[in-house]
Amino acid sequence: MKHNRQPFTLIELLVVVAVIAVLASLLLPALSKSRAKAKTISCASNQKQLGTAFALYYDENDDRLPFGFWRDSAGTFRLSYDDLLNPYLGGNLTEAEKAAGSAPVTKGLKVLACPLDTYKRDLAPRTYSMPRTSPSNSGVGKFVAGSDNPPAPVMIGHISESSSTLLIAEWAGILTSSGVYNNQQGAQGSPLDSPQQQQLYPPLLHKLSDLNYLHCDGHVEALKPDATIGTGTIGSPKGIWTIAVGD
């Protein structure tokens, strides 16, 4: 027996379309949040890999942490912490490329960039910075420009509270007049001194809800920037930003 199927009426089709639209409006925000959460987890994984590279470095260098940045007085070389960690991260930069002040894009390492960092760079992006924490220069990321003497090394064994001392924080740098952010692999960029910089330049990494922070003992913790300052301020932090005990 044949059954004659009636075609959908216009009203029925409109109802189906409306139901699909409602379902999409409910599901898409959840999917967007899931994607952002996955990228946040990937960012934490990147930092844990960096923590392993730091440990390998100081294990082979008499417990000395790499400095944040060093440029000699003549400007013949510029070395940043990621240059020093390059071989421990599977990189293959030559000594000349390390000294050049910027890593070639073709040799950029994905582990040095948060997946949520989509800000424009001239070269390979670097999201992660060692904290200088000025004006006191009390963070682990020692920074010297224009000197023939390297920064004084920070010894990992001299950090009394390694589980609450910052080693790496997220920061894309400052927007330059050419429209790019200046933290790039192998480059000087700008030294990271406070969570105030994280809030201002740029303000969208993880939407500033919680940023990932790698500590000197190797663990990564997601924290709001203003929860990291201890007895300091957002512009002049203490807490995890310094090597000092109990601040």
Residue with more model confidence, 243 or 186: 243
30: confidence class by pLDDT, cuts 50, 70, 90? low
Model confidence at 33: pLDDT above 70: no
Please report, rounded to a whole number, the percentage of residues in the chain having pLDDT higher than 90. Answer: 58
DSSP state of 228: S
15: confidence class by pLDDT, cuts 50, 70, 90? confident
| Beta carbons within 10 angstroms of residue 203's beta carbon | 9
pTM (2 d.p.): 0.85
Q: Tens digits of per-residue pLDDT, 109-163?
A: 999 999 999 888 888 999 999 999 887 779 999 999 999 999 998 999 999 999 9
Query: CB–CB of 191/144 below 8 Å?
Result: no
Query: CB–CB of 220/110 below 8 Å?
Result: no
Q: Tens digits of per-residue pLDDT, 41-63?
A: 999 999 999 999 999 999 999 99
Residue type for position 245: V
CA–CA gap between residue 82 and residue 66 (Å, rounded)? 9
